[in-house]
Amino acid sequence: MGTLKTVIEHLKDPALVADVQSYFGVERLPTTKSSRTESQVSPEKVNGTNSTVHKRNIQKNVDDQEPPTPSVASEEDSDTEDTFSSDVDAETSGYKVNKKFWFYLFTLGTALGDELFYATFIPFWFWNIDGAVGRRMVLVWCINMYIGQGIKDLVCWPRPGYPAIRLQKKWALEYGMPSTHAMVAVSIPFSVLLYTMDRYQYSAALGITIAFLWCTLICVSRVYLGMHSVLDIVAGLGLSIGLLIPLIPLVDHLDHTLLTWRWSPFILLCVSIFLVVFYPRRGDRWTPTRGDTAMVLSVTAGVHIGSWTNYQLGIMREPTLSPPYAILWPSFEMMGLGVLRTVIGLSCILATRAWCKWASYATVCALLRLNASDIKKQCYSVHNHQKNIVELSYKFITSVLVGFNTTYLMPSVFRLLGIARPTFYTEM
């Protein structure tokens, strides 16, 4: 038991994160005498519990400190909440990146777990690759994210402090254990791998290699950027692998039920709303995790409701051939149509998101008899129930419609324009 505790403490140690950063060429710049003295005598700073803000210039020393506050100031656009610095941020001394290759590679790697990646990859997959695999992948991703995000707000472990260097401010308000990036690094590539191995004819070894490299890149990038301890990564990997074992066969069977059962939309919406309302959390510290989780749940509901609509209208039908299918390598014409679908589709989704965000925000405020401008200016806080209700409601409504557009509206537009993927409506 003592050995296990020692291993856990070692993996949790921010010094291990600093060692990884040093190995890949991140150098801490010397601090001023006063800054060094303060960091030695203040246990709060050593433990990383004071709020800090990193300057964008990576070669400049930063000595500014802000006191911790119980709430976070709101911006005009609530989507900028991820740019705030955390009250568990690392020491504010400057740093220098000596090996640019690793910096850009790991910045790209961590982007594979961003909202922007989800917003482009998921629609691209449905419109250009395989809807049946897409529905299953999204459901596995959703369950992994909800459990991981919920555990974060229950465990409440801070992100690595000194001597780790924070190279990124995004998600700094969230807690660190477990790493949901690590969970996504397992759930997305390996669910795709497992759902396509028996569906398409391709080299399993190649698929495993790509999934492993994808997973490794994301996980190492989170440590490199100073956003997670090694223990956070290990916990995220272990949790996601443990969840995949029952989820892969369960989701495979559940997908057909959600597609064909007449009450699926009602159940999906009710379960999603229930999970958002009763989202687990502990303590009085506000984090954006609940809002992010609401978007994941609602996108998943929208994707499945859109697919259900296709089936109920008789547009979707059983395929005439049974798997495994031969992979059709794209011709120039197919690639051109794929690019056209992606550009038109993403443009329409961006427009839908912008309009729905404005309309739903105004509508919810009107229903609650609140002033939308005043709500936007208020602070983020677990005790600001009015703002929380408005924020969660508009994110939920907007994301449901984005998911619905991905699997129903945009494929219908593609069909009218004559650029639809031929097998889209046979992927059950």
Is residue 29 within 8 Å of residue 96, measured between CB atoms?
A: yes
- Check residue 72 and report its DSSP letter: B
Instruction: Report H helices in 261-331.
Output: 264-277, 289-312
Active-site residue, 228 included: yes
For tokens 């557009």, what's the residue? 405
Which amino acid type is present at position 224?
A: Y
Q: Tens digit of pLDDT for each residue in 85-140?
A: 344 444 445 878 888 898 899 889 888 888 888 989 999 999 999 999 999 999 99
Number of other CB atoms surrounding residue 56 within 10 Å: 6
Percent of all residues in the chain with a pLDDT value above 70, rounded to a whole number? 84
**E strand or H helix at 7, and its extent?**
helix 2-12
Which amino acid type is present at position 241?
A: I
Out of 54, 228, 253, 256, pick the active-site residue: 228
Active-site residue, 10 included: no
Q: Tell me the C-alpha distance between 169 and 54, whole Å.
A: 8
Q: Give the model's pLDDT for residue 319.
A: 84
Which range of 79-83, 296-300, 327-331, 423-427 scores highest in mean pLDDT? It is 296-300
Comparing 24 with 55, which gets the higher pLDDT? 24
Report strand pairing: 95-97 vs 51-52: unpaired
Comparing 55 with 359, which gets the higher pLDDT? 359
- Out of 74-83, 157-166, 242-251, 408-417, least confident range: 74-83
Out of 10, 54, 181, 304, pick the active-site residue: 181
Q: Tens digit of pLDDT for each residue in 308-357?
A: 999 999 898 888 888 888 888 888 998 999 999 999 999 999 998 999 88
Instruction: Report H helices in 197-325.
Output: 204-224, 230-260, 264-277, 289-312
Question: Mean pLDDT, the chain, as a whole number?
Answer: 81
Number of other CB atoms surrounding residue 169 within 10 Å: 19
pTM over cut 0.85 = no
Of 156, 181, 171, the C-alpha closest to 84 is 171
- Using only C-alpha atoms, what is the Rg of the chain? 23
